Copies of this chain bind each other. A is one copy, B any other.
Amino acid sequence: MFGSSIKLTDRQQQLLDYLRQQQRDFGVMPSTRDIQKHFGFSSQTAAMSHLRALEKKGVIQRHPHKARAVVFPEDLKREEIVDVPLYGSIAAGYAEAQQQEPDGSISVDAATLGLNRNGKAFALKVRGESMIGANICHGDIVIVEVKEPRPRDIVAALIDGETTLKRFVLENGQPFLRAENPAFPDLVPARELVIQGVMKTLIRKVD
């Protein structure tokens, strides 16, 4: 992408990997003494020199006179990340509070998701082809924000004790759900319509 392609020494690469691993595993950067011990240096100065070298090559940034103050530049440029729990399916009874165990988690920056940290959201794995007319396929992952739907929104709704994706339609003051597939009938709610949220984003992984 740019000038970061200045080559690193073997040792410098090792140090960088160590920094990254520590940050991932503990969330905190090692001090120069931590580095010294990990690499078996007899002096912190060795660690210091390497950090200085890495900083000169632009792969890290440092805040002078602050402890454990090594930063990766890419982390600074990054937007805020939000974590969305992924449910393979949502069982009945958990319509309001998602108290189930997630099947995993999806972490994306808020900007591409169109969400903020406050808005509750979850991800749902699509089953079946009932929304194929909206180009939503079996196996796709849909990010759903918990909020009131507007007409024509695609929503996650609780039907027969199972969450499915449908389009929310309002005709003559009567709300109902419509599949985007001629093979599926409209669904007029028997009693009440349990809408769990509104689709905001779609993610599809190809093999």
Contact residues of A with B, CB < 8 Å?
1-2, 24-28, 31, 61, 63, 66-69, 71-72, 74-81, 83, 85, 98-99, 102, 104-109, 111-114, 132, 135-137, 141, 154, 199-206
Most buried by B among A25, A71, A109: A109
Integer count of this chain's copies in the complex: 2
CA distance A78 to B72 in the complex (A): 17
Q: Are B28 and A69 in contact (CB under 8 A)?
A: yes
CA distance A66 to B200 in the complex (A): 41
Q: Are B68 and A66 in contact (CB under 8 A)?
A: yes
Give the 9 A-B CB pairs with smallest separation, nearest first: A67-B67, A27-B71, A135-B135, A202-B204, A107-B109, A28-B69, A108-B108, A106-B112, A78-B107
Q: Are B1 and A112 in contact (CB under 8 A)?
A: no
Contacts A/B (CB < 8 Å), 11 sampled: A24-B80, A26-B71, A26-B76, A28-B63, A77-B105, A104-B111, A107-B108, A108-B108, A112-B203, A135-B204, A202-B204
CA distance A31 to B187 in the complex (A): 57
Q: Are B112 and A107 in contact (CB under 8 A)?
A: yes
CA distance A12 to B205 in the complex (A): 40
CA distance A98 to B4 in the complex (A): 13
